[in-house]
Amino acid sequence: MPRGSVLCELTEHGPEQHAGRIRPLARPEGGAVWATWTTPDEVVCLALYDCGKRSKEQGRPCSLFGAHLGPCSFARDDALVEDPARVARIDAALGVLAEADQHDKLAVQTAAHDATLLTWDELRARHVWTRLPACDQAAMYRLLARADSLRATRSSVASTASELTVDVAQMTRLWEPSSPQRLPDGDTAAALLGTLDRLPPEWRTVVLGGQRENRYQARMPLDEAVAWAGRHSSEGLGPPPAEDDWTAEWDRKEDERQGATTSGRLANLPTGWQVDAVRRIARGGDALGTVANADLSINVIRLYGVDRAASDTGPTNLHMASVRADPQNA
């Protein structure tokens, strides 16, 4: 199950019947797994076909299941509603993550799930999400995937929890009244990406390859490396050869090898993901690892019904249930 909690997505129904989408099904006929419940602690999971109806004006598909109660999703406001309880749950989850070494793994996994998923919900509820640049939406999607990785890894739980605490807390500040409603360094990263794209391929390879954690020689900060390459390439010069030292020669070969791989994989990412990756590399992240993580994140967030960098909105109702069903039975 990608989500441990869901919100009721039905607009018109009685208090005894709720339904929330858990995940899409990867099958030709489509459909999704839906949680249905009367009370939050009695949840039944069902595989249901999609509604199939579309709006007459824009052809938007209904995101609900067939024979659902009430109007189709395109005929209602799809924004989540603000909920003080949601913010309180985020704060509680961040408290657990900040003291991950004092909790068992299941508690930390649950906290990571709540902190990321509910922060995403709250950004949409406060109408901040649609105003975020694509690179900041990519950063939020990356956090969803990062939290999901705690389900599969036994090691480094504390370090991952620490990273999530910092990054999610930064996301929660986006809905504060004094916030510029965007993450730092997005414009700088976009400018760096533009300069990288204009460099000749051999220079772009050397620059990205030099952004490795395990270099023998000192790593030049990305902005300085991009400026250095720009000055030399504008004069028609190629990258300098390696010095007469085996470590320098090894570094240059690794720069070229990893840089070529990083450059190709970076170019295949959606633009917003490229900008976010460059932002993280500029902050000291390993270039190839950062780009590979973006690839992985794009695959993971499909579990949440998100395709690449697509924007996503949520339901209006606040009827929530915790999902603790066996995935095999869903």
pLDDT tens per residue across span 13-53: 666 688 888 888 888 888 999 988 888 778 888 999 999 89
Q: What is the pLDDT of residues 80-120, one digit of tens each?
A: 566 778 899 999 999 999 999 899 888 999 999 999 999 99
Q: Which of 34-48, 127-141, 173-187, 226-240 has the lowest mean pLDDT?
A: 34-48
Final residue of a structural domain among 127, 144, 175: 175
Same-domain pairing of 265 and 322: no
CA 266 to chain centre: 16
- Tokens 């090691």 belong to residue: 155
The 10s digit of each residue's pLDDT in 274-314 is 999 999 999 999 999 999 999 999 988 877 767 655 433 33
Q: Are both 276 and 208 inside the same structural domain?
A: yes
Q: Which residue has the tokens 């991950």?
A: 100
Residue 214, in any domain of the structure: yes
218 and 171 co-located in one domain: no
Question: Does 283 map to a domain?
Answer: yes
57 is a domain residue: yes
Q: Is 296 within the bounds of a domain?
A: no
pLDDT number for residue 274: 96
Is residue 188 situated within a structural domain?
no
Are 329 and 272 contained in the same domain?
no
Percent of the chain past pLDDT 90, that is, above it, reads 47
Instruction: List Cα–Cα distances, 136 to 113, 184, 252, in angstroms.
Output: 19, 9, 33
The answer to whether residue 243 sits within a structural domain is: yes
Same domain flag for 228 and 259: yes
Residue 155 banded pLDDT, cuts 50, 70, 90: low
Are residues 117 and 322 in contact, defined by beta-carbon separation less than 8 angstroms?
Answer: no
Residues 58 and 90 in one domain: no
Encoded amino acid at 265, one letter: R
Average the pLDDT over 177-204 and give the result: 94
First to last CA, the chain: 9
User: How many domains, the chain?
Assistant: 3
Same domain, 165 and 92: yes
Q: What is the pTM of this model?
A: 0.74
Both 70 and 130 in a single domain? no
Residue 316 in this model has a pLDDT that exceeds 60: no
- What 3-state class would DSSP assign to 5? strand
Range of the domain at 154: 84-175
Q: Which is more confident, 79 or 262?
A: 262
Q: Nearest Cα to 40, choosing from 303, 326, 324?
A: 324
